[in-house]
Structure 1
Amino acid sequence: MEPSNNVMNIHINDFDGPLELLLHLIKQSQMDIYDIEIEKITNQYVDYLNKMKELNVNVIGEYFVMASNLMVIKSKLLLPKKDDLEDEDDDYEDPRNELVNQLIIYQQYKEASKVLKKMQKKSSMHHSITAKVPTVTEMLDLNGNKIMNVDLIKDAFDSIIKKHQHNKPYVHEINEWHYTVKEQSHWILKKIKNKDILEFNSLFNIYDNLEKIITTFLSILELMKEHLIFVEQIDNRIYIRKK
């Protein structure tokens, strides 16, 4: 099978890792992320890696590990689901589930990073230019209100993710996203409704599912963007206040 021109126009340095390359191929092929055509996507992925080798591009080992995983999934899908005498729905686990879960969580994390970069750019554009270097804890938003530097929010979030991974190693157990930014935003607003201030970390439980943690973080960013909450630092702790 010859690689498509679209696939060949992308380069290994364009991607942070195999999951990002896979997401690109899935989007390019207009596939449903919950129903990946494994045979097609595996062929595209392997063709891409082979072409990179032909061009003498140094392809990192993790890309080949993913290629092997794709071929294993492809092989498993060729096996019969169940004996004909058994109920096909009982205890059957789609071999794609683990990969789908990884892709969804990676996609959500990338979205969080994208929102952070956007906020960083916006904050820097609207900060007053003075001879003095601005402190890391304060910036000015469009309304002239003091807000938390988004770098500190990112650091706090990264710390929560690390604690989660340390206390609850990730288990691939879902095949769809159960949380939405809208729902988590309502939950956050409800929690701070009767309080003047709420500690940032109190919104996260390191024993929760990783997808819930990420969605909650995205919700905080969205509420900040909509000026429904603001974030500040007090004694090295991050707090959320109502607008």
Structure 2
Amino acid sequence: MTEQVQGHTTYHIHLGDLFDGPMDLLVHLVRKNEVDLYDIPIALIAEQYLEYIKLMKVMNIDVAGNFLVMAATLAHIKSRMLLPVQEEQEDEEDPRMEIVRPLEEYLQLKYAAEDLAHRDRLGWDVFIRGTDEISESAGEEPRDFVQVSLFELMDAFQRIIKRVSPEHFLNITADTISVKSKILEIADILEQKGSVTFEELFEKQATKGQIIVTFLAVLEMARTQVIRIMQHVKSGIIRIFNG
């Protein structure tokens, strides 16, 4: 995201390999909507996929080219699904198989590549961290926490944004806080508390700009491995721990 809060300094978040790619976003949407992998409602998934891309662009989170390629693929499949089926075309393959097959292969490769000896698989794309690793890095951190994907974090961020009253929807240029200062603030909180819930980082009366800056600070701290972002399996609460 571009931050324009102090001297109109620009601030970009380069996620690199830290967070997920387009296939993970598709898996996230299929799970979120609780739809059958082999009967994907393309119009709905394509629309939601583009909403995530728009949000990432608005916040100046670098959107890799493969995200845009997948968006074009979804649009192409959607257009094919809208075409009337001719009698001689009834035996043709379902257009959605264009993404179903790659999704199947992707999930197989993803699981094969993970070190399952240290992580118990939970669901499609979430892994519980090994007990030893947790105890060494976070003391008493519960075992029933799983790592959060970028898209789950974006969902939580959107819920927080929706709670901000209209009078607090100020332009980010009106805010005086910077991402760097927010990073220091979050580091101080974690130093004192050890961990904090994602929502606790966002002040109840915060402006939209302050909320965005806080979210960017969280992403940057995760990218640099200063923090770990975990989610409780049962409650769904997202909690942030020192890295």
Give the TM-score range, shorter chain.
0.3 to 0.5
Higher-Rg member (1/2): 1
Normalising by structure 1, report the TM-score. 0.43
The TM-score with structure 2 as length reference comes to 0.43
